[in-house]
A = this chain, B = another copy of it.
């Protein structure tokens, strides 16, 4: 099913947008290589590729906040993926917000418009 996704265009990775399947809220953008995509399809849970850690990132593997994938879309150029997901725990962002896009541009800078669903210190214990 993934043959038409153009993973080669940008060095093996494509951007993947996660959107809340119920509310339409855009939750985050991450990256997928072919392996991450295949595992996402196979397991029904979002798997990304972490550029900073240079390995597969099974979303929620640490926090428990996995993303159950409801639908997968590809764009016209076949170089971007859109996932409609159910976000377990209600927060996609590692900073505890429902969406990673919790800051909005205003005249005098960025304003935090999101409300924290969880306290990162409680979820990511070292």
Contacts and interface: CB of A to CB of B under 8 A. Distances in A.
This chain: copies in complex: 2
Query: For this complex, into which size category does the number of interface residues on chain A fall?
Result: 35 or more
Nearest to A14: B29
Nearest to A25: B24
Interface of A: 1, 4, 15, 17, 19, 23-26, 28-29, 41, 71-77, 80, 82, 93-95, 97, 100-110, 113
24 contacts: A1-B106, A1-B109, A1-B110, A15-B29, A17-B17, A17-B26, A24-B25, A26-B26, A26-B82, A28-B75, A29-B80, A71-B104, A71-B105, A73-B102, A73-B103, A73-B104, A75-B93, A75-B100, A75-B103, A76-B93, A76-B95, A76-B97, A77-B100, A82-B101
